[in-house]
């Protein structure tokens, strides 16, 4: 067959996961979960093909014919194969230890580019747009060299701009700094230097986004654990940040969700709270106690969104006793507790105790947060520590004025940690997070009919219970999102007709599925065309743009909507069509014109099986047959048939 190394590896691991018997993964007896899954799948009111399609669509980005064939031919039966697949998906190996992709794929891709370190200035300063062969790989994705380089360039730009505003440095902290900056920025070639620097920065910024997206899509295409990638996208959108504001912090931020996709929600919440990306994006970096002589330095932006979007949510009236919600005073107190959660000079998280408002929180009196701090409140700061006495201002403390020395109150960070722990395990949060998961992986509650809503609520209650699993701290720690997902895939509701094909395919899923299919065919996608300017990858970016799926660059903290009503529009069909049209020269399956004889309805069905593993419905194949019957050129007919198959209702639902 002439398989590449990568394909051979892929099929080896795959066979194993699907139940063959010569690997450590496969030696163990099926788990009780696995056995229970098999029963549920067995009982599901689906045909065999539907079962396979359901799993590959829900727990991944769609089917490829290779995958479908493998599952179908599993000797132990389709149910066992699918149960193994599901179990593997929710228990992927640690991302750091094993990238979740065929070893070497990413590094091989990366190796095709020169590193940016040495030659970036030369390339960018030419003044012309870099050629595709000159695009260099920003090491941000592999190490921190890039971050250093980026901040070096940015600092120089900012310093020169500051000097331009105040040429005599009247308000500068030190004249030494002023002189140094004057030397750096120069006097005669000042503006010239600035333009050159700005050009480098612009290049880096644009490339950071482009390469971050490229990196994440490469993983989505190659990963053997596509469910983790889907959960990662869902979680990122829940804790949305905008690349335009976080720039080089994007990739480290994205990692949180990949590493913690099936871990503890509390951990994710805490890591986002302390991430440079979130601290910058929602301004908590500037949420401080007293500053610049103004009355207060509270910035409530992050506090508001952690309550409204990441955890509790606004008031809900669905229940007799309403859940969620908070009032303005509570919000201010939450903001106050999070004062001082900021960044150090290197841009890493730091609890800055001088900026922390250590006053006792009024939250103690709150109904929602009532018992929060009775559990593990840290040692209280003395009044003088936080500048509470008339005699000590923050400046006095900073200057170490006698009587205003800071004693140890750094443990007040524990207030924030307690708060986050508390927010992560209240019912309103569980409810909110579970609904997002269900809307994404089960079906959307809105518009699912009376029965659908009843079933939705039933499964929601079960998952909320899993999420909340009360008990001692130790017991809670052992509780992970994996359990929630495991429960979901075991639910009869997941295996119901209401759930089947209930989601409309979004642009990302469409694009990744298209590329995965090409990848798994005999002639893999030609990577050298992937990264070219105007090549396959740029087409992918166009697809996301036209399809309004602004991955990593949606400006609002709500995250973008992923509801069915958004994706199933004519403009999406247009975007998908354009994507197929503009990439067909790169995707191998569009170049297979072996079918020499005129197409029949049967050969259209076979064409569909070759593309997706499944046949389209008789009505669809008949209509496609009619639509191509007038075309005399066989290649045109074949291309149009393939387009119509990939864009048919069967393939635009998942």
Partner 1 sequence: MKRRQFIAHTAKIIGSAYLAPLVTCLPARAATQPSTLTGAVPPTLVFIDNLGAMDALAALQPHRNSVEARINDDYLSTVRPNLLTPHGLLLPLDSTGAIPYALHPNLSGLHRLWNSGNLSVVFNAGFPRGEMTETGRANPNLRSHFEQMRNIQTGISDSSARAGILNRTLASLSAPDAVPSKFSGVALQNEIPTSLRGSYKISTLQSLSQLDMNESLLGLGGNSFFTSLQKVFGQSSDQILRGRLRGVGSDLKKMIEEGLSLRRVEAPEYGTHPFHLRLKQAADLIIKGAGRTRVIHIPGVNGLDTHINQVTRASNLERLGDRGALADKLRIFGDGLESFCRDLSQNGVFDNVIIVAMSEFSRTIKQNGSFGSDHGGGTAIWIAGGRAKSQKFLCESAPIQDQNLSGKYADPGVGELAQKSRGSDLYQAFDYRRVFAEIFKEHMGISDDNLALIFKGLVNPGGDFYGVTRARV
- Positions 226 through 245 that interact with partner 1 (CB under 8 A): none
Q: Figure out which of the listed residues 192, 296, 451, 528 binds partner 1, where binding follows CB under 8 A.
A: 296
Per rule CB under 8 A, is residue 627 in the interface with partner 1?
yes
Q: Figure out which of the listed residues 133, 558, 585, 601 binds partner 1, where binding follows CB under 8 A.
A: 558
Q: CA 162, CA 3: separation in Å to the nearest integer?
A: 59
Q: Read off the DSSP letter of residue 144.
A: S
Q: Figure out which of the listed residues 578, 588, 606, 634 binds partner 1, where binding follows CB under 8 A.
A: 578
Is the CB of 389 or the CB of 617 nearer to partner 1?
Answer: 617
Which 353-382 positions form the footprint of partner 1 (CB under 8 A)? Answer: none
Minimum distance of partner 1 from residue 272's CB (angstroms): 18
Rounded to 5°, the CA angle 603-608-516 comes to 145
Q: CA 32, CA 44: separation in Å to the nearest integer?
A: 18
Of 101, 88, 74, which is closest to residue 9 (Cα–Cα)? 101
Per rule CB under 8 A, is residue 612 in the interface with partner 1?
no
What's the per-residue H, E or C state across 272-319?
A: HHCCHHHHHHCCHHHCCCCCCCCCCCCCCHHHHHHHHHHCCCCCECCC
Beta carbons within 8 Å of 174's beta carbon, 6+ residues apart = none
Q: CA 251, CA 218: separation in Å to the nearest integer?
A: 14
User: Which range binds partner 1 by CB under 8 A, 15-23, 152-160, 297-305, 467-475?
Assistant: 297-305
Counts for the chain of helices (H) and strands (E), in that order: 32, 2
Q: CA 431, CA 315: separation in Å to the nearest integer?
A: 12
Q: Figure out which of the listed residues 3, 383, 573, 602 binds partner 1, where binding follows CB under 8 A.
A: 573
Minimum distance of partner 1 from residue 296's CB (angstroms): 6
Is the CB of 483 or the CB of 592 nearer to partner 1?
Answer: 592
> How many residues form the binding site for partner 1 (CB under 8 A)?
82
Per rule CB under 8 A, is residue 191 in the interface with partner 1?
no
* Helix ranges restricted to H, 383-493: 394-399, 413-424, 427-441, 449-468, 473-477, 481-490
User: Which range binds partner 1 by CB under 8 A, 145-153, 220-228, 259-267, 644-652?
Assistant: 644-652
In sequence order, the β-bridge partners of residue 504 are 653
Per rule CB under 8 A, is residue 155 in the interface with partner 1?
no
**Residues 441-480 as x/- pattern, contact with partner 1 by CB under 8 A:** -----x----------------------------------
Residue 326 near residue 307 (C-beta atoms within 8 A): yes
User: Which range binds partner 1 by CB under 8 A, 106-114, 387-395, 572-580, 602-610?
Assistant: 572-580
Structure tokens of 205? 């910024």
Is the CB of 133 or the CB of 158 nearer to partner 1?
Answer: 158
In sequence order, the β-bridge partners of residue 342 are 350
Which 53-92 positions form the footprint of partner 1 (CB under 8 A)? Answer: none
Is the CB of 478 or the CB of 569 nearer to partner 1?
Answer: 569
Is the CB of 484 or the CB of 644 nearer to partner 1?
Answer: 644
Residue 31 near residue 486 (C-beta atoms within 8 A): no
Q: CA 241, CA 244: separation in Å to the nearest integer?
A: 9
Q: Figure out which of the listed residues 23, 107, 571, 601 binds partner 1, where binding follows CB under 8 A.
A: 571
Per rule CB under 8 A, is residue 400 in the interface with partner 1?
no
**Residues 313-332 as x/- pattern, contact with partner 1 by CB under 8 A:** -xxxxx------x-xxx-xx
Neighbours of 240 (CB within 10 A): 23
Structure tokens of 43? 């009982």
Structure tokens of 157? 């730009």
Residue 297 near residue 355 (C-beta atoms within 8 A): yes
Is the CB of 43 or the CB of 446 nearer to partner 1?
Answer: 446
Place of tokens 């007799």: 320
Is the CB of 378 or the CB of 568 nearer to partner 1?
Answer: 568
User: Which range binds partner 1 by CB under 8 A, 82-90, 391-399, 518-526, 614-622?
Assistant: 614-622
Per rule CB under 8 A, is residue 569 in the interface with partner 1?
yes
Is the CB of 279 or the CB of 413 nearer to partner 1?
Answer: 279
Is the CB of 238 or the CB of 479 nearer to partner 1?
Answer: 238
Which 259-288 positions form the footprint of partner 1 (CB under 8 A)? Answer: 282-283, 286-288
Q: Read off the DSSP letter of residue 7.
A: H
**Residues 480-499 as x/- pattern, contact with partner 1 by CB under 8 A:** -----------------x--
Q: Figure out which of the listed residues 182, 577, 588, 634 binds partner 1, where binding follows CB under 8 A.
A: 577
CA distances from residue 391 to 260, 292, 360, 384, 636 in whole angstroms, order as listed: 47, 18, 20, 8, 84
Per rule CB under 8 A, is residue 291 in the interface with partner 1?
yes
Residue 531 near residue 136 (C-beta atoms within 8 A): no
Per rule CB under 8 A, is residue 504 in the interface with partner 1?
yes
Q: Figure out which of the listed residues 271, 290, 479, 517 binds partner 1, where binding follows CB under 8 A.
A: 290
Is the CB of 547 or the CB of 613 nearer to partner 1?
Answer: 547
User: Which range binds partner 1 by CB under 8 A, 5-13, 112-120, 606-614, 627-635?
Assistant: 627-635
Residue 192 near residue 532 (C-beta atoms within 8 A): no
Which 93-132 positions form the footprint of partner 1 (CB under 8 A)? Answer: none
For 472-499, letters b (16+ CB in 10 Å) and e give: eeeebeebbbbbbbbbbbbbebbbbebb
Minimum distance of partner 1 from residue 465's CB (angstroms): 23
Is the CB of 138 or the CB of 368 nearer to partner 1?
Answer: 368
Per rule CB under 8 A, is residue 438 in the interface with partner 1?
no
Per rule CB under 8 A, is residue 640 in the interface with partner 1?
yes
């Amino acid at each position: 067959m002439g398989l590449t190394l990568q394909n051979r590896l892929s099929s080896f691991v795959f066979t194993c996961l699907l139940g063959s018997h010569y690997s450590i993964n496969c030696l163990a007896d099926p788990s009780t979960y696995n056995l229970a899954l098999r029963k549920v799948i067995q009982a599901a009111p689906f045909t065999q093909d539907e079962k396979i399609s359901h799993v590959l669509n829900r727990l991944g980005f769609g089917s490829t014919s290779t995958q479908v064939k493998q599952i179908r031919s599993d000797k132990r039966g389709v149910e066992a194969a699918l149960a193994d697949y599901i179990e593997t998906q929710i228990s992927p190996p640690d991302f750091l230890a094993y990238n979740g992709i065929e070893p070497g794929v990413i590094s091989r891709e990366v190796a095709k580019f020169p590193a940016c370190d040495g030659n970036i200035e030369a390339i960018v300063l030419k003044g012309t747009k870099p050629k595709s062969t000159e695009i260099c790989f920003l090491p941000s994705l592999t190490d921190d060299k890039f971050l250093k380089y980026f901040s070096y360039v940015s600092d120089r730009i900012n310093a020169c701009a500051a000097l331009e505003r105040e040429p005599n440095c009247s308000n500068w902290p030190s004249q030494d700094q002023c002189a140094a900056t004057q030397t750096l920025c120069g006097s005669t070639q000042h503006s010239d230097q600035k333009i050159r620097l700005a050009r480098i920065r612009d290049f880096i910024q644009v490339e950071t986004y482009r390469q971050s997206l490229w990196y994440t899509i490469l993983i989505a295409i190659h990963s053997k654990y596509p469910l983790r990638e889907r959960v990662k996208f869902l979680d990122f959108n829940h804790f949305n940040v905008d690349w335009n504001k976080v720039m080089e912090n994007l990739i480290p931020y994205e990692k949180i969700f990949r590493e913690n996709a099936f871990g503890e929600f509390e951990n994710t919440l805490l890591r986002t709270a302390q991430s440079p990306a979130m601290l910058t994006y929602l301004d908590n970096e500037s949420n401080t106690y007293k500053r610049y002589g103004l009355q207060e330095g509270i910035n409530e932006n992050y506090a508001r969104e952690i309550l409204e979007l990441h955890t509790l949510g606004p008031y809900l009236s669905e229940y007799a006793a309403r859940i969620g919600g908070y009032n303005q005073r509570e919000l201010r107190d939450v903001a106050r507790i999070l004062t001082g959660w900021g960044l150090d000079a290197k841009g890493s998280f730091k609890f800055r105790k001088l900026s922390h408002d250590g006053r006792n929180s009024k939250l103690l009196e709150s109904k929602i947060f009532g018992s929060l701090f009775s559990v593990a409140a840290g040692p209280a700061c003395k009044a003088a520590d936080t500048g509470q006495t008339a005699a000590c201002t923050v400046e006095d403390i900073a200057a170490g004025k006698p009587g205003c020395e800071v004693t140890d109150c750094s443990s007040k960070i524990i207030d924030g940690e307690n708060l986050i722990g508390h927010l992560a395990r209240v019912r309103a949060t569980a409810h909110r997070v579970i609904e997002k998961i269900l809307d994404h992986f089960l079906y959307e509650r809105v518009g699912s009919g009376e029965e659908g809503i009843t079933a939705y609520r039933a499964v929601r209650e079960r998952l909320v219970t899993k999420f909340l699993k009360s008990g001692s701290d130790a017991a809670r720690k052992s509780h992970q999102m994996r359990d929630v997902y495991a429960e979901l895939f075991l639910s009869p509701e997941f295996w119901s007709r209401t759930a089947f094909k209930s989601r409309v395919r979004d642009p990302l899923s469409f694009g990744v599925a298209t590329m995965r299919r090409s990848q798994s065919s005999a002639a893999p996608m030609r990577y050298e065309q992937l990264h070219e300017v105007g090549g396959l990858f740029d087409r992918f970016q166009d697809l996301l743009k036209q399809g309004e799926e602004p991955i990593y660059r949606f400006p609002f903290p709500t995250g973008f909507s992923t509801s069915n009503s958004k994706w199933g529009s004519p403009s999406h069909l247009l975007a998908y069509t354009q994507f197929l049209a503009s990439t067909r020269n790169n995707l191998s399956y569009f170049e297979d014109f072996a079918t020499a004889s005129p197409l029949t309805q049967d050969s259209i069905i076979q064409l569909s099986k070759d593309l997706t593993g499944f046949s389209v419905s008789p009505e669809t194949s008949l209509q496609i047959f009619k639509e191509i019957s007038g075309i005399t050129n066989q290649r045109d007919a074949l291309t149009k048939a393939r387009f119509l198959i990939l864009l048919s209702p069967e393939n635009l639902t998942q």
